[in-house]
Amino acid sequence: MEMRKPSRGRPRSFDEDAVLDAVMRAFWEHGYEGTSVATLEAATGLKAPSLYGAFGSKEVLYHAALERYAREHGNVLRPDGPAREAISEFLYEAADQFSESGLPPGCMVSTAALALGVAQRGVATRPATMRSETLAGIEQRLRTAITEGELPAGTDAGALARLFGAVIQGMSVQAIDGATRRELRGLATAAMAAWPR
């Protein structure tokens, strides 16, 4: 990681981690284009030059916020135990996380940067890559379950992974639209009925 060298010069007047948390929430709630630097100033209490001095640009700030989101609020597929339980747990955790009070609804990655102006096209690639990595992770987990006999040999792991990924993405949309935790959990329950038997 980065070294924290400077004991020389004027010290930072803010906690970089707390600032990044506020930035993350702003981007999470209003997206990349919907969050202006003025918004970030209001959310952090800092002025633009401090933000730029500490991070560099709105775009790297967004990427830093994305990484922080993945680290602090990201959901991971439990690698051990039956795949069915891992997926089920994954969906229920998503239902809970997407409806956590005190945080923006939905998922910062699942429904991020789906429509941007041409000038900001590049911003969308990182969230899109994260989504495809999630799909790939689910698919791999299902493939292992097939070779271990937990799933039938003919199971279409790719399609099933896309299904559970779509469920997560749809839960994010519906959470933003105001779905309750109870409703999202019910959705997760209904989705698990698609598990091959």
Q: Which residues bind a second copy (CB under 8 A)?
A: 29-36, 39, 106, 110-112, 114-118, 120, 128, 131-132, 135, 156, 158-160, 162-163, 165-174, 176-179, 183-184, 186-187, 189-191, 193-196
C-beta closer to a second copy: residue 149 or 178: 178
Any contact of residue 117 with DNA (CB under 7 A)?
Answer: yes
Residue from 21, 22, 30, 59 binding DNA (CB under 7 A): 59
Of 40-48, 127-135, 142-150, 180-188, the window that binds DNA (rule: CB under 7 A) is 40-48
C-beta closer to DNA: residue 12 or 182: 12
Any contact of residue 18 with DNA (CB under 7 A)?
Answer: no
C-beta closer to a second copy: residue 12 or 121: 121
Of 39-47, 82-90, 134-142, 186-194, the window that binds DNA (rule: CB under 7 A) is 39-47
Which DSSP string corresponds to the chain? -------SSPPPSS-HHHHHHHHHHHHHHHTTTT--HHHHHHHHS--HHHHHHHT-SHHHHHHHHHHHHHHHH------SS-HHHHHHHHHHHHHHHHT-TTS-SS-TTTTSSSS--GGGGGGGHHHHHHHHHHHHHHHHHHHHHHHTTSS-TT--HHHHHHHHHHHHHHHHHHHHTT--HHHHHHHHHHHHTTS--
Please give the residue ranges that form the binding site for DNA (CB under 7 A): 6-14, 35-39, 46-50, 52-54, 57-59, 117
